[in-house]
Amino acid sequence: MPVSDVVAAPAVDQVAAPVHVAVIMDGNGRWAAARGLPRGEGHRRGVAALRQAVRSAGELGVKVLTIYSFSAENWSRPATEIDDLMALVKRFVRDDLQELHRAGVRVRVIGDRTGLDSEIFGLISEAEALTRANDKLTFVVAFNYGGRQEIARAARRLAEQAAAGELDPASIGTATLEQYLDTVGLPDPDLVIRTSGEQRLSNFLLWQAAYAEFVFLPIYWPDFDRAAFEQAIDEFHRRERRFGGLKARTGS
């Protein structure tokens, strides 16, 4: 089913979805190992699950979907696996970008772009430029991303401005720092989903997920489908979100 068949027309009878859902796509390698397949096949099946997740987000009324595609720490993996992952990233952009654009999806990439392969850098720039005016769904790809590294980059930029006399250090607060994060202009995630049964953030959106709800699913990422997405959202709606207060806030 093409992405455009569902992203443009969310179901009218749905329960209000969380505005921003962030996903840690974990378990491709273990999915493959459990089936006696090479890790690369797990990553390829993971891309298919990602396409379905984007479609499901549009159907369910999610406005921002952020996925953890490649962490700053993933460079320590074997070179053959990194090459396979990079090839999949390139293929995904080449094969899916026009479809995402027709569906009204805006693509935004967060993470450190310093030293990236020129072809990857060009594809990222192309995807963002082509889809910049779209407003059906914002699809955020965390690539070469780490939460600690993101905060350090923001702090460094603030320090540089303060040293240059362009910023009063006494004026720096949380709202100021947020203007220097990769996610500036985006709402914080309401729901963070992690597959594979692991229960940790792994350096993902450390600042932004301060008040997110977490749902950890026992399935590997290639098995993540519409039903799993709905299960996570159902669990989200059972939570009371108090944001440090005594009373739950209504809505997502």
Domain range 4-148+186-236, CATH architecture: 3-Layer(aba) Sandwich (3.40)
- What does the alpha-carbon distance between residue 23 and residue 225 come to, in Å, rounded to a whole number? 13
| Stronger pLDDT, 8 or 177, i.e. the higher one | 177
Q: Which residues are catalytic?
A: 26, 74
- State residue 243's pLDDT score: 59
**Confidence grade of residue 8 (pLDDT, cut at 50, 70, 90):** very low
Mean pLDDT of the chain: 90
Domain boundaries, the chain: 4-148+186-236
pLDDT in tens, 10-34: 443 456 899 999 999 999 999 999 9
| Stronger pLDDT, 233 or 247, i.e. the higher one | 233
- State residue 78's pLDDT score: 87
| Stronger pLDDT, 249 or 179, i.e. the higher one | 179
Cβ neighbours of residue 100 closer than 8 Å, sequence gap 6 or more: 3, 54, 107, 131, 139
- State residue 2's pLDDT score: 52
What is the DSSP secondary-structure string of the chain? --THHHHTS--TTPPPPPSEEEEE---HHHHHHHTT--HHHHHHHHHHHHHHHHHHHHHHT-SEEEEEEEEGGGGGS-HHHHHHHHHHHHHHHHHHHHHHHHTTEEEEEES--TT--HHHHHHHHHHHHHHTT--SEEEEEEEEE-HHHHHHHHHHHHHHHHHTTSS-GGG--HHHHHTTSTTTTSPPPSEEEE-SS----TTSSTTTTTT-EEEE-SS-GGG--HHHHHHHHHHHHTS---TTSSSPPS--
- The DSSP bridge pattern shows strands 64-71 and 105-110 to be unpaired
Rounded mean pLDDT, 118-122 = 91
pLDDT in tens, 165-200: 999 999 999 999 999 999 999 999 999 999 999 999
**Confidence grade of residue 117 (pLDDT, cut at 50, 70, 90):** confident
pLDDT at residue 129 greater than cutoff 70: yes
What's the whole-model pTM score? Answer: 0.88
